[in-house]
Each structure stands twice: as structure tokens, then as C-alpha cells.
Structure 1
Amino acid sequence: MNGPAPTPSEIFSQSLTTELKPQEVAAPIHGQQHRARQACLAQWIAQQGGGVVVLAAGEEIIRNRDNPFPFRSHSDFLYLTGFPEPDAWWLMRVDDKGNSETVLACRPRDAEREIWDGIRVGPQHAAQRFAADRAIELSALDETVIALAGDVPALYAHMGMDARLDERLRHWLAAVRAKGRAGVNAPDRIIDLSAAIARQRLIKDTDEIATMRRAAEISAQAHVRAMAFTRPGHHEFEIEAELLHEFRRQGAQSVAYGSIVASGPHSCILHHRAGSRPVRDGELVLIDAGCELDGYASDITRTYPANGKFTAAQRAVYDVVVAAQQAAIDATRPGALLSDPHDAAVRILAQGMLDLKLLAPSSVDGLIESGGYKRFYMHRTGHFLGLDVHDVGDVKTPLAAGMVTTIEPGLYIRPADDIAAEFWNIGIRIEDDAHLTTTGVDLLTRGVPVEAEAIEGLMRD
């Protein structure tokens, strides 16, 4: 083939080409990685006695009338296959020794629809490029599932997430049972697969970390661009536009979540979407935004003064949040729980509330025991990050090398009679993405400054 091969990102976003060749069809993360993930899952299923995995990519969702949302596969489906098209299914039959067979079911090539919607992969290329033993058209899905599910003890799938999927699983199970007179044994149970795949997804492989590092770099540069652009009088939506421009300019396919651009009193609303409010002199701007690259999320929050200079009150609160984040970073290490960084941050934040006289005199322990600190800090300090921005895992999950978490303490001070007016409408959150190593953490998102002096310098320059 003449010329450079398409990049993984170009393939992932399904850039329209005039002719699809097998070598042009690829997943952003190489097929051997998907094979390794499938083998790990197969080993676990073998330990349960074997069975058949049935996973759906999901359907295209209509936004309004005949206008669909951009499609994105279910994260577990992406993790195991990398296949980017809607309506696809992935099947894996595993025996009790770990031997497996994988099948990818997808839409057929369709010359007429491809004029409108772009090139489809089709079964003829899907198996070769997306880590399946064979690929079939969707029309053959029912008979294939029924054939694979004979003489295995269980079906493994996502249960309780989609009523239509649950019903389809029951239909397939009934069809296998109907073959009992022919000597075919049907599965006697359907097992939810979510927890098993979650355990795998928690530990990122080298390709995943490389992708997340690049996503973090793009997002950091977008934050820097938005920060440098901001001046009193700019609207929140104008600042958001700077973020989105940089995301796409650098190759990210989409935002990882709805971007939060909050100025003035909006900074005390945790999930305020950018609106038409103009930023005023003397106010803070809080941006919580990250891109998605090849399926993987980034997640950064920074808070900065619209005019480039923190007021004394803003700076006092900001320094408390910086200290709380550092305490949480120090507590993020292998063997700790995800709740440990939160607990470390809360102690610093509670002490800061007392020092700034935001709360009546008390003790840090008293504020924590009573929950009094939650008046100004009402969310957790972090979450896992990966294919989902709020990725698999919970607060009691022991941290280990290869995991990626966010670290995001904040303080949100709404106007109130018992609060000094200089603190009103100060909402501050600082968030970084942390890759756990064997010795501690590698902060992926420090391409955008955190220290107050560095922020003021960036905006001044």
C-alpha cells in the first residue's frame, strides 16, 4: 500500500475512505492486547466450569427525530475487542480447561448505507483485525449463540443493564432447552460478567497507560489554552470553545464527559455546564474537563482568577485545597484503599475551614465525626479512571500498581449570613489523574499548572 498507514485514532473514528482494505482496519490498541485480555477472562470462566460469554456493543441512540448521537461501544466490549461499530456482538465459548473460541457478529457491508454513514468493517475483515477466531453477519447471531450455548453450564453476560438484552438472553436459553430431547444440555444459569471484567480493567496495561498519558497531555494543553484565553467579559461558552478546539485539534475523538465551565457563583455548583454567563472581574473560573482518546478518558479540574490575580480570600481558600490535594497524593500508594486519599484530604480541608472561620470553633475530629465539613466539601476526593471517566472499582478497592485514579479535593462556599462576604461564591476544585506505580504515583496531568503563582504567571504572560 502506498503512503503512510492510517493512525489508530483515524481508524477508531471511522474516517471515511474510498475503499476499505483489510490492512486499513485496526483497533487503536493492538489485537494481541485484546487477545491477552480475552485469554485472562477465559481462564477465569474455566475456573467456574466453563460457559459462553455474550457481550453487546450497544445500539445507535437517536438524539431527536432521525439525528443520532455519535456512537460509542460499551466499555467492556471495547476493552475486549476494540470494535467500534454499533449493533455488534462478541461471543466466547470456554471449556473447563480454558480452551476458547471467539466469534464477532457485526453488520454486513452495505454499499447504499455506506454512502450515507461511512465505510463498515464487515465480517470479511472483522475477525482479522479485531481479535476474533471468526466473524459472522448479524443475521446469523441467534443460531450461533444457540449452537455455542449447548452443553455448557452457564451463560455470562451483563445482567440488569438492558431489559431487551435480558429478554434476548432468556430467549436464547429457552431455545437451547428446547433441544433437550436431542440430547443437548442447556446452561442452568446466567451469570453477570461485570465484576469479572472490572477486575481486569482496574489494572491498565502498557498500551492503555500510553493512551491515557496522551489523553492527559491533550487535556492539559486545552486547559492551558482556556486559562490563557480567559479575560473578564468572556462568556463561559467561549471558554468551553477553547477547550473543545484543542481537544479536536490534537486528535481526541470527543469529550470524556460534559465539560464544566463555571464562573463566579456557578463555581459552587459541582456539575455546572458552560452557559451564557459572562465572567466578571474579580471572579474565579472553575474548569472540569477532559478529552476521550481512543476510548480512554482524561479528567482535569483547575480553578483560576478571571483577571489573572487571586484576591486574598481566594488565595487563602486555594492554598487549603492545594494542601489537601498534596495530602491525598501522598496517601495514594499501592496497598492503600481509594478511601484513604479522601480521608487525608478531609482532615486538611476541615482544618482549613476552622482556620478561615468558615465554621464555628470545633476540632477536626469533631467535624469529621459529625460530618460538619460536608457543608463546604460534599463529594469524594477521587475515583478510578479508564474507559469510563467514573471507571470500575469502588472506595474499598485496594490500590495497586497499574491503576489510574483522580485526586480532586475542593471547597465550595455559598453566600450565607454566618460567612464573611469576602468568601462568598468561592468554589475551588483541583483535580489530577494519578497513575499508580510500585513506589507511589505518576501525575499524568501536571502539564497545566497548579500552584497559584504559576497560574498567575501563565495568565500574565
Structure 2
Amino acid sequence: MNQPTEPTIAIDVYRKRRERVLAALRAAGGGVAIVPTAPEKLRNRDADYPYRHDSYFYYLTGFTEPEALLVLDASAATGDPAALLFCREKNVERETWEGFRFGPDAAREAFGFDAAFAIGELDTHMPRVLADKPALHYALGTSAQLDGQVRGWLDAVRAQSRGGVVAPSAAHDLIPLLDDMRLFKDDHELAIMRRAGKISAEAHLRAMAACHPGVREYELEAELLYTFRKSGAQAPAYTSIVAAGANACVLHYPAGNAIAQDGDLILIDAACELDGYASDITRTFPASGRFTPAQREIYDIVLAAQQAAVDATRAGATFDDPHQAAVRVLSQGLLDTGILDRAKFGSVDDVIAGRAYAPFYMHRTGHWLGMDVHDVGDYRERGAARDEAGALPWRTLQPGMTLTIEPGLYIRPTEGVPERYWNIGIRIEDDAIVTANGCELITRDVPVAADEIEALMQEARVAHGTRT
């Protein structure tokens, strides 16, 4: 039975992250941090959902097995273990059914922990670890099971009070500290995210090349999933959106069995997860290989909005700046096309002030990206002074932050909107790394320019002998 391996450099990355958390907790007065991984989930009867570790746990450990928990003791005495792993025991019989298990001894050595114990020994060890420690740090209130375990451990400590043992007197939410760490990606993370972006781009290219009138949405989804797995990605980062025609106006439409018709647009929002990190790409293209004039008109507006947002994504800008840049271009486009009546809605400033664009653009232009497709991190400056409306200022972008840039327009049949635009749904999305002078787009191996998309699809038709 083959044993999984973990590159030495990655082990150093996880160890250094644990050391950062320990240093932060010591600076705050010490205590013990607890980070569990995700539980396995039963799908139906004897079948589980595919297992996926908890992102916080993986960020600090690199360990992907279920039934595991990390303990960081920032008040450990000199020479005592500070980073402890609890995990499943070695079990040859279960390995016959479920595959390799590290077990505590091998996990401690392979992943660089100070000590490791069987997960079944938690209730024995945790009261000892928590005894006489000033504080407890964990994700408060996020898991009823963990909350119950913690109460049991604290009760066991308090039962020793006559012997002079005291329980932690404070409990703190660990999540803000970990969120701020995860918000800034290191070189190890960025390398994985760049590779994930390339795999996802390859999948979009394959889907574009396979598209033609008569294809079903799920057939295009199959091309995506095939490329993800063939290229080494473990799973989709989220449920793939493959929407033909009017379905593209449904923001979270899952790939169904609708048949792409000649004249339809296809909106694909799909990407892979690689080694624990998500990518996130959306492209919109014509099923026939050529945009209609109305489709091209709307497409170019959305593309210009994305470029304006890209130009606004740089260190020193706020998280909201790319969104406002995109909204201005989209609002102007809605006026120029007559989708919004200029006589009724006035200037672009009036459109923005009254949010008249919102029926056609109802989401924001981006979100943090990382281990989770909608990754962690505050979007506003926590603890800063609020403005007159009571809002916190938007967070300032800094190098190493990663986010999506994804404007769109979704035009349902609406009274007063020219009919030629009805049922056009377009979104263009790329993944960006904030740099000192701008941003690096890591998903542009699949084109965004309309002419390039048409050329790609025409080339695929010629190669496959399909009539254009």
C-alpha cells in the first residue's frame, strides 16, 4: 500500500504558519488553540460525500485525513510540545477498505508536529493540556460537537480545582487571526493557484472547442470535469455553472440538460480545486461560434467593465474601487444601448446613485479567492472609524491578496428593454494577484476578447470538420 508523500518545503510552510499563530497567541497572553478538521458527511445509507478537509486545519497542517484535530499550546513550558496533532490510529484492517492512514507516529514525523496522539485519546489529553492555561482560542460557536467537547474538557479541569488546578478564564475567537493570515498568499500558495488557473483555463478551452448547436449543458460540463481530473486537480472548486440561452441570466444555474440552440450564448462559470486551492473562471461565448450584433454589443460592454476593474486593482486601492470602476462602465453601457432610458434615468451618475443598474447587475465585481472559492478575510477595515452612515471603510488592497474580477450583465425580458437584448446573460471572470503596481491575471490562458473567442471556436470546427 503506497504511502502519500509531502514535499519537505511544504512541511516547512505549514510549520512556519503554526509558529506564527503560536507567536501571536503568546503576544496576546498565551493559551491553547484548537483547530479541528471537517467531519465526514453521510450522503445516503453507506455512501459518504467525497471527503474534503477543513481549510483552516489544512492551512496549518497540510494533513488531509478525516478525524483529526490540531492543538497549539502557546503557554507550554520550555521543552514541552507546543504543536500537537490528534489523528486516527494505524489500522491495517480499515486500511484494506479505506486506504493508507498515517497514524500518530508517522504523522508527527512526516508533518513536523512536536507530538501526535490517537484521536480516541482526546478526552484523556485535553484536560491536561488546558489545565492552568490562561485562555482558550477556537472558532467559537461554529460546531456544536466541538463546543460540547470543550465543555467536557473544561468540566474535567474544574473538577481538579480543590487540587489548585484552574481552567482557562477566557475564550477567544481564533478565526480573525487565521483569516488575516490566509488573506495574504505566500509563494507556495501562489504557485498552486497559478497552476490551478492554468488547468481551469484548459478546461474552458476544451469546452469552447466542443460547443456547437445541439450540445447539452451537461456534455460541456463533462468536458470541464474530464480536464480537471486528467490534469491532476482533485475536484471542481464549486458546482459548475453551464448555462445555455436564457439560463445564463440565472446566476447560480447548475449544468442541466438544456440543449444549446443556434443563436444562444453559453455562460460557463467553472474551475478546479488543486491541492486545497480554488480557481474561479467565467467565460461567455456563442454556441454557433459567432456573436450576434446584440450579443457582441453587450459582451464588449462587460469586457470594458472588466478591464476598468482590472486597471483599478492594485496595491493602495480599496477593495471597492474595482467594483465602482466596473459599475460606471456598465451603467454607461446600459444608457448607450437604451436598456436604461436616458430620458428617465438621466446621466451615468444618476444611474449609479439610484442603483438603476441593479436589475441587470446585481452582484459585486469580485471576492477573495484562496483555499475557499469565496475565501476568508474582512472586506472592510475591522476596528477603523465608521463614516457618517455607520459603515467601516473598505479594506485597502495589498500585494499578495488574491481576488476575482467578474462583472456581468443579465437581461431578462423586461418591459421597456429593447427585445434584441432579451435573455442575454454575460459574465467575464478572471483571478488576480494584487501586486505593487497593478495585478497579475492568472487565468488568461483562455481568451476574453470576442474576436479571439470566435477564432478559437472556428478553428475547432475546422479541425473537427464541422460546418460553420
Q: Does 1:49 align with 2:29?
A: yes
2:50 is matched with: 70
AA in 2 matched with 1:94:
A
Cα shift at 1:98: 10
Q: Mapping of 1:1-400 within 5 angstroms? A: 18-20=1-3, 24-26=4-6, 30-95=10-75, 101-361=82-342, 362-396=346-380, 397-400=395-398
Preserved contact between residue 248 and residue 254 of structure 1 (Cα < 8 Å): yes
Q: Which amino acid aligns with 1:209?
A: L
More displaced stretch, 96-105 vs 268-277: 96-105
* Alpha-carbon distance between aligned partners in 2 of 1:196 and 1:385, rounded to the nearest angstrom: 17
Identify unmatched segments of 5+ residues in structure 2: 381-394, 460-468
> In structure 1, how many angstroms separate the alpha carbons of the residues matched to 2:396 and 2:160?
45
Q: In the alignment, is residue 449 of structure 1 matched against residue 447 of structure 2?
A: yes
**Farther-moved stretch of structure 1 (24-33 vs 85-94):** 24-33
In 1, the alpha carbon distance for the partners of 2:455 and 2:5 equals 46
Partner of 1:5: none
1:6-49 C-alpha deviation (Å, 9 max, x unpaired): xxxxxxxxxxxx254xxx44269711001111111111111110
Between the aligned partners of 1:224 and 1:254, the Cα distance in structure 2 is 18
Give secondary structure in 2 for the equivalent of 1:215: helix
Deviates more, 1:31-40 or 1:182-191: 182-191
TM-score by structure 1 length?
A: 0.93
Contact 1:107–1:120 under 8 Å retained in 2: yes
Contact conserved, 2:271 with 2:278, CA < 8 A, in 1? Answer: yes
The answer to whether the 8 A contact 2:214-2:260 is kept is: yes
Contact 1:31–1:131, Cα closer than 8 Å, also in 2: yes
Q: Cα distance 1:250–1:244, how it changes in 2: closer, same or farther (>3 A)?
A: same
- Say whether the 8 Å CA contact 1:52–1:155 is kept in structure 2: yes
Give the whole-Å Cα distance in 2 for the aligned partners of 1:58 and 1:131: 21
Amino acid at match of 1:67: A
Match of 2:435 in 1: 437
Paired with 2:213 and 2:341, the residues of 1 have a C-alpha distance of 35
Q: Give, in whole Å, the separation in 1 of the partners of 2:78 and 2:215.
A: 60
Residues 76, 82 of structure 2: 8 Å contact kept: no
Distance 1:110 1:75 in 2: 26
Tell me the CA shift for residue 142 of structure 1: 1.5
Q: Secondary structure at the match of 2:358?
A: helix
Q: Is the CA contact 1:46–1:96 (under 8 Å) kept in the aligned structure 2?
A: no
1:183 to partner: Cα distance: 1.5
Deviation, 1:94, is 0.4
Query: Structure 1 regions of 5+ residues with no counterpart?
Result: 1-17
TM-score normalized by the length of structure 2? 0.92
User: Aligned partners of 2:332 and 2:8: how far apart in 1?
Assistant: 46
Contact 1:27 1:130 in 2 (8 A): no
RMSD between aligned alpha carbons?
1.5
Secondary structure, aligned partner of 2:166:
coil
| Moved beyond 4 Å, runs of 4+ | 96-100
Classify the secondary structure of the residue corresponding to 2:35. Answer: strand
Q: What is the CA distance between 1:395 and its match in structure 2?
A: 2.8
Deviation, 1:145, is 1.4
Structure 1 contact 29–82 (Cα < 8 Å) conserved? no
Q: Sort the Cα spacing of 1:293 and 1:266 in 2 relative to 1 into closer, same or farther, 3 A.
A: same
Count of residues in Structure 1 that have an aligned counterpart in Structure 2 = 441
Q: Show the counterpart of 1:3.
A: none
Instruction: Name the CA shift for 1:60/1:153 in 2 (closer, same or farther; >3 Å).
Output: same
Identity of aligned residues (%): 51
Aligned-pair CA distance for 1:111: 1.4
Q: Aligned match of 1:425 in 419, 423, 426?
A: 423
